[in-house]
Amino acid sequence: MKIILSLIIACISITAYSQSNMELTKSLINKYIEELNLIRGDKNLLKEYRFTNDKSNHFERLRINIALFNDFKQTDFWISKYLFEQESIWRKSEIDYDNEDVDNLYFSALLVSKYQKPEMVIKFFETKMIDFDSSIGFDGEFLLSSGKEETFKYLSESGSEIVNKIYKHIGNSIENCGYKDDDLKVWRDFKYQYFKDYILPIEDPMWFLYSMNEKELLKANFQSWIDSNNEWSESKIYRFRTFSEYLDDRESHIKSLKMILKHNNEPENGESYWAKKLREVESRNEK
């Protein structure tokens, strides 16, 4: 009876924790939308989100992109286009920043593709051609995200010199297009699934806080998240390590690394990557 009661209490606690965090992320996104509304009312504010050599403004743009996605309005194309262009400029600069993720380039592209503006095919292609990594990582399907008919119609009427290069990549007509309609649908569904942590309702609130660089909020909820996990899957163990390192929580970092080693059946005193990482973290002085 005591065991059953304990399980019920644990389930109630986990449910309450999950609901609390869902409300937290919803509140955060509403805060981002309020920031977006200021831009909607004053276009001059948008320049504060531009990329510069001194400040990437990566997370600032990501938060507005999150707001645009969750409060989508067709009239916001000019905002979305600007944010995407700034991500491209950042990528072109080859300047790296610690703790910042290139995924926002691809999320920006997915967002701006929602506006169904065929002229974006040129911007997308230019971004894809920035460097080798962009060529591989930036999906060619983005070039046709406004639909084949509209895309090829736009290209046929465009006077841009880049059109023939685009044709070499996607084909020079609907009939000769290298991308099948079914494949394009599968790709779009996959992209939405990939970025599900940015779209309400947020399935993984803690990962959302980490992705948004909301460090203080993540720290405040970290112990509750640990306590709520009565079953540690592989993905949760690795996220435990990611959060611990991000928060500079030495004790939790050590615990997470030991959990990884146990999960992988690797000795703590071995020569694997995680065993070396464990010794490195253990050797650091307590802060």
- Judged by phi (left if over 0) then psi (alpha if -120 to 50, else beta), residue 43 lies in alpha
* 163 HSE (CA, 13 A, CB side): 15
Question: For 198-242, how does the pLDDT look when each residue is reduced to its tens digit (9 = 90+)?
Answer: 999 999 999 999 999 999 999 999 999 999 998 999 999 999 999
**DSSP symbol at 286:** P
Please identify every stretch of the chain with a pLDDT value under 50, giving residue numbers as ranges. 1-17, 99, 287
What is the pLDDT, as a whole number, of residue 19? 57
How do the residues of the chain divide into helix, strand and coil, expressed in percent and rounded to 5?
70, 0, 30
pLDDT number for residue 286: 59
pTM: 0.86
Neighbours of 138 (CB within 10 A): 23
Query: Cis bond leading into 118, ω under 30°?
Result: no
